[in-house]
Structure 1
Amino acid sequence: MPFAYWCILIAAVLPIVWVKYAKTGFIGDNRHPRDIIESLPPQKRRAYAAHQNAFESFPFFAAAVIIAVTQGASVSIVNVLAGLYVLLRIVHGCLYIGDQPSLRSFVFAAAFVVNTAILLSPLFK
């Protein structure tokens, strides 16, 4: 199984990491788990926003990797790009939590470019 597929798993788990950080130390009502978000301190609210953003970006990444591999792209190139994408998404979440909006936006854009490169990589086989 290509490393890029493992990167899909990592990217799928990443939102859970961010939300776990956001909610650690706070007791909420499991019937309404999102009600706690508004009462969190700013850093924890940003972690929740990173959680949402990670979910939002995941489908494009998963589809890009699967399409690239199944359409004959170089698996070694897809592996490298997928690893870079996951690394950028981890940095993005850390910058989100750390309140670095300009750098965070740059890293978001870089991850989007890498993801687009994954999707288009079969064109260069």
Structure 2
Amino acid sequence: MTIANWCVLAACLLPTATVGLAKLASARLPSGGGRYNNKQPREWAAGLSGWQARANAAQMNGFESLPLFIAAVVLAQQAHADQARVDLLALGFIGLRLAYIGLYLANVDALRTVVWFAGVVVAIALLAMG
């Protein structure tokens, strides 16, 4: 597997890991007092606030960013683009996604938007290689 392929796997796992932080933090709460409820996960998510709500929103955005990134990596590799460059851009995308998640959790909205946009630009650069 190429580095870019590992990055696709990482991008697929990041959203689940992001909301997993919110679920894990709720484990110490009493049952019925905000603890994650696997029987009603949507209702639990709807009642979130603060950083946990932002973690859930970052999760959703992570899933939204996947199609473009996955398609970009696949098409660049199918076109036999320079693999080192594909790998570098894919790593850049993952780095930007990690920064985005951190900024989202910290509630740094303006910079978060800039980082999100940079991630889109990196994915489009990958796509253009295809």
Place the TM-score, normalised by the shorter chain, in its bin. Answer: over 0.9
Q: Is the 8 A contact 2:79 2:129 kept in 1?
A: no
Q: Is the 8 A contact 1:10 1:86 kept in 2?
A: yes
2:21 is matched with 21
For this pair of structures, how many residues does the alignment match?
A: 122
2:52 is matched with 44
Trace 1:28-39 onto structure 2 (pairs within 5 A): 28-39=36-47
**Aligned counterpart in structure 2 of residue 108 of structure 1, from 104, 109, 116:** 116
**Distance in 1 between the 2:37 and 2:8 partners?**
31
What do the CA deviations read for 1:89-110 (whole angstroms, capped 9, x no partner)?
Answer: 0100110110001000000000
Trace 1:1-125 onto structure 2 (pairs within 5 A): 1-26=1-26, 27-122=35-130
Q: Is the 8 A contact 1:61 1:115 kept in 2?
A: yes
Aligned-residue offset at 1:22 = 1.7
Structure 2 length normalisation: TM-score? 0.89
Q: Is the 8 A contact 1:68 1:121 kept in 2?
A: yes
Q: 3-state SS of the aligned residue for 1:73?
A: coil
Aligned-residue offset at 1:71 = 1.0
* Unmatched 5+ stretches in structure 2: 27-34
The one-letter code of the counterpart of 2:76 is A
The one-letter code of the counterpart of 1:42 is G
CA RMSD of aligned residues (A): 1.1
* Unmatched 5+ stretches in structure 1: none
Aligned-residue offset at 1:40 = 2.3
The one-letter code of the counterpart of 2:14 is L
Structure 1 length normalisation: TM-score? 0.93
